[in-house]
A and B are shown apart, each in its own frame.
Chain A
Amino acid sequence: MATAVPDTETRFAELKRYVEFSAEDAALLAGFRTTAEPHFERIAQEFYDQIRLHEEAHAVFTGEAQIARLQRSLVRWLERVFGGTYNEAYFAETTAIGRVHVKVGLPQRYMFTAMALIRLSLMEIAEASGPHGTRVSRAICRIIDLELATMLESYRDDSISRIQHVERLEKEALGRDLAKTQHRYVNAVELARVLIVGLDDTGVIRLFNREAERVTGHGRDEVLGLELLTALGIDPDGDGAGVDALLRSFRSPAPDGAASDGSPLETTIRTRAGHPRVIRWHFTHAPADGDDVSVFALGLDSTDERATADRVKQQERLAAIGTLAAGLAHEIRNPLNGAQLHVTYLDMALRDIDASADLLDTVHVVRDEIRRLGGLVSEFLDFARPRPLQIKPVVIQEVLARTVQMVTSQAQTREVTLTLDAPPADIELQADRAKLEQVFLNLAQNAVDALASGGRVVLRARRQPRTVTVEVEDDGPGIPSGTPIFDAFFSTKSHGTGLGLSITHRIVTDHGGSIDVETAPGRTLFRVVLPVAGPQTQSQPIPGVNDDD
């Protein structure tokens, strides 16, 4: 640069100019040395005597040995001051002395008073020395000012370096704070069980937290730089339209400030594996200088929530239908009763007149059909309005023994072998005994019904640490695959109601257990697994259904 030529004047030269120290002064000092020198020891002695009188100043020193040493240094310093050569080397020496003062922590005020004392002593000598005394005195004043100024420079340098040190420390602390804050925010974002997606002005993903990775199955490296809708497979014409509109409103808010970020937006996304999941998003527009992320999308996976809500809705619908149907079913029993009584009378009357077998058979068909309708009503009510479970300790062997007892005659008629295979030690569980009997009676009867003569049915019970498994196995023809055996009103029997397995299924699940079936020609096995501890949460009765009237 052409304008400012740096001043080449040294610091020492500048100081000399400031105190007006001239070559003449230098010569005067050199000439005065022989006069002054004999007084140096005395000056040093008096100086330190003076210091001893001052308690605080004296406290700066560590002991007499140090004072003696410093006294000698003071003499050497006086010799220097009258050395006559005041160059850069001289300046360097004075600076070094100043640094020692700084280092030992000598307060600056002591340096001033010390210099004043020495100055007075020297000036007295000069004034008494003859006609040049005044000029010499001035020279002494200037050299001492020069010394003081130089030493003060050391103090200044020191305080600058100390300030710099403090600044450095502060900066480091600030850096640490910043790192800590950053660490906290990164953790908060990464560990949150919320999808956090940061978008830039153009709707491109710039931030994708761990939960977002977990729920979507996409790694952040796969989605960063992509548009939100594209990356998550959100239908741009469906759910995505709302998101798009919102993002656009963020970019250019309507004049009335309609860029709302209040209500959540629900979108169906596609995971990496292609599964749909429902995410409820809250979009917040938070532009900041120096950050490319201007929109934060906070999402919650509400897939299960929605499924639960759907299930509850379905349950409520079924409950309403169930209540209606149950009321109807009850009332059907009354006309059935009238019909049955009259058919009974008809049967008796026909017998009295020795009516033909044909006529009697006809009446019996009506009687049997009424009975069947009655049975259907009872089973339906059992299904539609289950009573709350009566949970008590139940020994599974006792339940199965009773089941065998109840099915034995039916099995004998069909020449089916019935076997009970259970360990001798009681297997006890918390359950509703009557309901369990209903379950196993139903399964055992089904098994016997499925068999031609000569078939075998085995009831098997086993205990696991937390569960009891009961299997009902037959060697019948098996169930064709895809048969909805657990669906209500599905039956393959000519006289079945189609409710038996539905009720069975419900009782088992109400107990917190599970039922499944393995079937193939020649072997069908129903497996019921029940928790030993019983149902963990008593299934809540559906309002208005369990209560009669």
Chain B
Amino acid sequence: MPVTAISTPGPFRVLVVEDDERSGRMLAGLLRRDGFTVDVCLGGLAGLQHLAEGPAPDVLVTDLRMPQIDGITVARLARTHCPTLPIVIVTAYPDLANRLDGAEPMPQLFIKPLDYSALVGALRDLERSA
């Protein structure tokens, strides 16, 4: 397999961007229990700041509809930093994701309420192929 992204040594790092505080923290907690390294940003603006200043994620898990800065903007900025960054969208408004049509690799889409085990399965697949 051709190595395009520089694989980060150490644990698989997940960036969760979710404006609902309780849901964001709970998702981060569950993922940590399952062994992932998780950074959680409450809202799009925090997500942008993290992408600019924080440690680079191996995957972005983001909500779409958020006040001020939406998930589409976050996803686009993430891709400017790392064009091959895997993106997972968790949203109540799946139709909004068509604004990312044509993005490669294609973001994976999960509709709320989230099927947590399906998300973990997808992240494990990404971790394996990273």
> In the complex the two chains form, what is the Cα distance from A18 to B96 in whole Å?
119
Question: Are B22 and A374 in contact, CB atoms less than 8 angstroms apart?
Answer: no
B→A interface (CB under 8 Å): 20, 22-23, 26-27, 29-30, 33, 90, 92-93, 95-96, 111-116
> In the complex the two chains form, what is the Cα distance from A4 to B37 in whole Å?
140
> In the complex the two chains form, what is the Cα distance from A333 to B35 in whole Å?
27
Closest partner residue, chain B, to A348 (CB atom)? B33
> In the complex the two chains form, what is the Cα distance from A85 to B29 in whole Å?
154
Closest partner residue, chain A, to B26 (CB atom)? A341
Shortest distance in angstroms between A245's beta carbon and chain B's nearest beta carbon? 56
Which residues of A lie under 8 Å from residue B90 when comparing CB positions? 337
19 pairs of residues in contact across A and B, judged by CB atoms under 8 Å: A333-B92, A333-B111, A333-B112, A334-B23, A336-B113, A337-B92, A337-B113, A337-B114, A338-B23, A339-B113, A340-B112, A341-B23, A341-B30, A344-B116, A348-B30, A373-B113, A374-B111, A374-B113, A548-B95
Instruction: Name B30's contact: one of A330, A344, A370 (CB within 8 Å).
Output: A344
Question: Are A549 and B96 in contact, CB atoms less than 8 angstroms apart?
Answer: yes
Closest partner residue, chain A, to B22 (CB atom)? A338
State how many residues of chain A have any CB contact under 8 Å with chain B.
22
Question: Are B113 and A370 in contact, CB atoms less than 8 angstroms apart?
Answer: yes
Which residues of B lie under 8 Å from residue A333 when comparing CB positions? 92, 111-113
Shortest distance in angstroms between B64's beta carbon and chain A's nearest beta carbon? 10
Question: Are A330 and B93 in contact, CB atoms less than 8 angstroms apart?
Answer: yes
Which residues of A lie under 8 Å from residue B112 when comparing CB positions? 333-334, 336-337, 340, 374
Which residues of B lie under 8 Å from residue A331 when comparing CB positions? 92
Shortest distance in angstroms between B86's beta carbon and chain A's nearest beta carbon? 21
Taking CB atoms and an 8 Å cut-off, the chain A residues in 46-74 that contact chain B are none
Q: Count chain A CB atoms within 10 A of each CB in B20, B92, B93, B95 and give the residue with the most.
A: B92
Main secondary structure of the interface of A (DSSP, over half): helix
Question: Are B116 and A341 in contact, CB atoms less than 8 angstroms apart?
Answer: yes
Instruction: Name B114's contact: one of A330, A341, A348, A373 (CB within 8 Å).
Output: A341
Which residues of A lie under 8 Å from residue B23 when comparing CB positions? 334, 337-338, 341
Instruction: Name A342's contact: one of B26, B93, B95 (CB within 8 Å).
Output: B26
Is A345 an interface residue when CB atoms closer than 8 A count as contact?
yes
Taking CB atoms and an 8 Å cut-off, the chain A residues in 4-21 that contact chain B are none
> In the complex the two chains form, what is the Cα distance from A387 to B33 in whole Å?
39
Question: Are B116 and A334 in contact, CB atoms less than 8 angstroms apart?
Answer: no
> In the complex the two chains form, what is the Cα distance from A164 to B95 in whole Å?
92
Is A378 an interface residue when CB atoms closer than 8 A count as contact?
yes
Question: Are B113 and A548 in contact, CB atoms less than 8 angstroms apart?
Answer: no
Which residues of A lie under 8 Å from residue B92 when comparing CB positions? 330-331, 333-334, 337
> In the complex the two chains form, what is the Cα distance from A371 to B111 in whole Å?
11
Which residues of B lie under 8 Å from residue A371 when comparing CB positions? 113, 115
> In the complex the two chains form, what is the Cα distance from A340 to B27 in whole Å?
10
Shortest distance in angstroms between B26's beta carbon and chain A's nearest beta carbon? 4
Q: Count chain B CB atoms within 10 A of each CB in A331, A333, A337, A387 and give the residue with the most.
A: A337
